[in-house]
Structure 1
Amino acid sequence: MTGTTAGLTVHAPDGVPEVAAGDDLAALLVPLLDLADGDLLVVTSKVVSKAEGRVVTGDREAWIDAETVRPVAVRGATRIVRNRLGLTMAAAGVDASNVAAGSVVLLPLDPDASARRLRAGVAARAAVNVGVIVTDTAGRPWREGQTDIAIGAAGVTVLESFAGRVDAHGNPLAVTAPAVADQVAGAAELAQGKLAARPCAVVRGRPDLVLPPGEDGPGAAALIRADGGDMFGLGAREAVVAAVAGRPEDRLPFGAPASAGDLATALARTGTPATVVGDDEVRCAAGTRVAVAIVAFAHGWEIHEGAADLSIRPVTP
């Protein structure tokens, strides 16, 4: 199946055999592909995991627990978690589809390393310089449905910087770093399909994204925000519960301490007038301690006792 748009072509070949632990992916894929310098080879994480022996038996829920660093949100049977790779995904990326009953597929131990090995294997067998992207499927906040994203990459520019550039009207570009590796992953998925047994695709037309031989780049890990750096580190319900509980170990998903002005504004919205004393202190009436403690926790601050009022100060990282 091939799709073409604005000079970009995507080809996903049929005939890829079932992959088993220990298989050499480069040896399996190169004979099926017409590769050229500057191509992007996109492979699903599932075939990478199968080749690396990441198919395991046992209870899926137990494996989700094992792959989870912390929960983000739970709605019924659906668990959104931050997994050991730093990815925020449903079920930690543990997949029970297209595998024998009683088995599940775990994500590769190090998808960027997997991409580097495949890139080197392709170069050795086909004498071409390609970029490699390892993909998996993920949902998106605010949007229905799922799409493929890059979870591993080698020899690829994963973020295309537009910092300092302007549009045709002289306006600064608001989006300074398009996630081009994710865009390539989504384009490849259109040709691969979900049920067509096409676990790889070649995307041609963006040789500018492929790094020179010997340069693998930062990998797809560069696309992951640090825990606490995202505005949505917890689900809405989970954030309320965490703020009320006020456990120190639950501070990280709320991010860095907010400014004194932002905290004072938030307190005012709860009916608690507050005064900004300085960059590192906000004061309010002592009679509102419980509400203040909850709001302060969610903003990275904490209460310090005062004589007739509450002194609130940012938590030291």
Structure 2
Amino acid sequence: MRLEILPVTGIGEVVPGDDLAALIGDAAPWLRDGDVLVVTSKIVSKAEGRLVDLPADEADRDRVRDQLLAAETAEVVARRGATRIVRTRHGFVMAAAGIDNSNVAPARLVLLPVDPDRSARQLRAGLRARLGLDLAVVVSDTMGRPWRNGLTDVALGAAGIDPVRDYRGQTDRYGNELRLTQMAVVDEIAAAGDLVKGKAEQVPVAVVRGYPWRAEPLAGPAGPDGPGVRPLIREPGQDLFTLGTAEARRAGLLTAATLPPGGPVAAPAGPAGAPAAGVDDRCPVDGETVARAVRLVSEVVAPGTRFELTDAGGQPADAAYSALLRCRPPGDAPPDLVRFGADLHRLRAALAADGVASADLGAVAGPDGTVVLLGLVATP
């Protein structure tokens, strides 16, 4: 494979209502069938009128910026000082939701296109109608990356090209089956195009020539334009880096503060709320995990509060829980019991942090005083 990366110059300033297909076609009459067009999202946004004028007063400007950021944000992922990393309503994780004031008139902001995939499809159709060429289109923008300095362009929208090259199920030269390898082709093409576009040269469009994007015809409900960039957007539940440090700590504290009586994993229930009998899929609790949680809270619980791990065998809860924790208060006086309730919650939060769900099974009288039983089961 031999690739060429070519800048498209002479497009000039783009204003709302401009026909991008006409501007690009006039600036690049040398386009060929099979080229991949990489178009910075900035000119797409300008043509679509995604511009906001800022007021003159600085305080009012800040207020408008905050309102725009809130409107474009689905979730705040991380923050530090004035910087916000957010998940946009498109699903992209970006600084300031991609709102930008570079390469635009002073006192103006540019928002991301409402639907970059749709923008890519419309531009592809416009170029086909105008030039009679079958092109692929990638709408790109700049993003930072966790763990690395520097920026790179990635694809926000795509049309006519499969966003992923999937190697799963194939074997390498040593006979090893590839199980995870999925190459984000449109991101690679976006980054390649940026090598000739640049940020200060005002070259908003590049052409990547020679990539065989039509080797396998696109199929499926998306039609010949393909699925766009949607397959590249990882769902938050599958992301190992969903939140920043402060946000993850806050989420953990809120989880601890709202720990339900039955634990983060509901215990199987039988008649009248009693634990069900014959549960075969309970997860065993590791004794060292429980001991670690007990040690963790031992320095902050009331003097005299004691915890003892026992097997669940012979107890009414033995079908639902794999272990019981006998919790003894420091005394019977009301202040002791109030403090004991807080100590129990500390321990349950520490257990939950290590994947052990707990449920308060109530107080039982014993030969050496009253104890509270916690039923334990490991989170699946």
Smaller-chain TM-score range?
Answer: 0.7 to 0.9
- Aligned mates of 1:219, 1:275 — CA distance in 2: 55
1:240 aligns with 2:249: yes
SS in 2 for 1:228: helix
Label 1:266 to 1:221 Cα distance change in 2 as closer, same or farther (>3 A): farther
**Aligned residue number for residue 163 of structure 2:** 158
Of 202, 210, 221, 2:230 maps to 221
Aligned-pair distance for 1:288?
Answer: 5.1
Give the match for residue 352 of structure 2: 296
CA shift digits 1:67-121 (9 cap, x unpaired): 1111111111211011111111100111111112221100000000000000000
Query: Which residue among 102, 117, 120 is the counterpart of 2:122?
Result: 117
Cα displacement (A) at 1:265: 9.7
State how far apart, in whole Å, the 2-side matches of 1:260 and 1:89 are.
41
CA gap 1:281/1:60 in 2 versus in 1, 3 angstroms: farther
Q: What fraction of aligned residue pairs are identical, expressed as a percent?
A: 43
Identify the residue that residue 139 of structure 1 maps to in structure 2: 144
Q: 1:95 to 1:313 in 2, by over 3 A?
A: same
Greater mean alpha carbon deviation, residues 226-235 or residues 103-112: 226-235
Which segment drifts farther, 134-143 or 200-209? 200-209
Q: Deviations over 1:241-289 (max 9, x none)?
A: 111112999xxxxxxxxx98799699559535999999x9675646553
Instruction: Return the offset for 1:57.
Output: 2.1
Normalised by the size of structure 1, how large is the TM-score?
0.83
The higher-RCO structure (CA 8 Å, 6+ apart) is 1
Instruction: Please state how far the C-alpha of 1:61 moved relative to its aligned partner.
Output: 2.6
* 2:193 partner amino acid: A
CA RMSD of aligned residues (A): 3.4
The TM-score with structure 2 as length reference comes to: 0.70
Q: Runs of 5+ in structure 2 lacking a partner?
A: 55-63, 259-280, 296-308, 313-317, 328-342, 363-372
Aligned residues: 301
Are 1:293 and 1:303, in contact at CA under 8 Å, matched by a contact in 2? Answer: no
Instruction: Tell me the distance in 2 between the aligned counterparts of 1:262 and 1:120.
Output: 59
CA distance in 1, matches of 2:196, 2:134: 22
Is 2:189 aligned against 1:184? yes
Q: Give the conservation status (yes or no) of the 8 Å contact 2:161–2:213.
A: no
Corresponding position of 1:271: 293
Corresponding position of 1:45: 41
Q: Alignment partner of 1:123: what SS?
A: helix
Which residue of the partner structure matches residue 88 of structure 1? 93
Counterpart Cα distance in 1 of 2:285 and 2:124 = 49
Q: 1:192 to 1:237 in 2, by over 3 A?
A: same
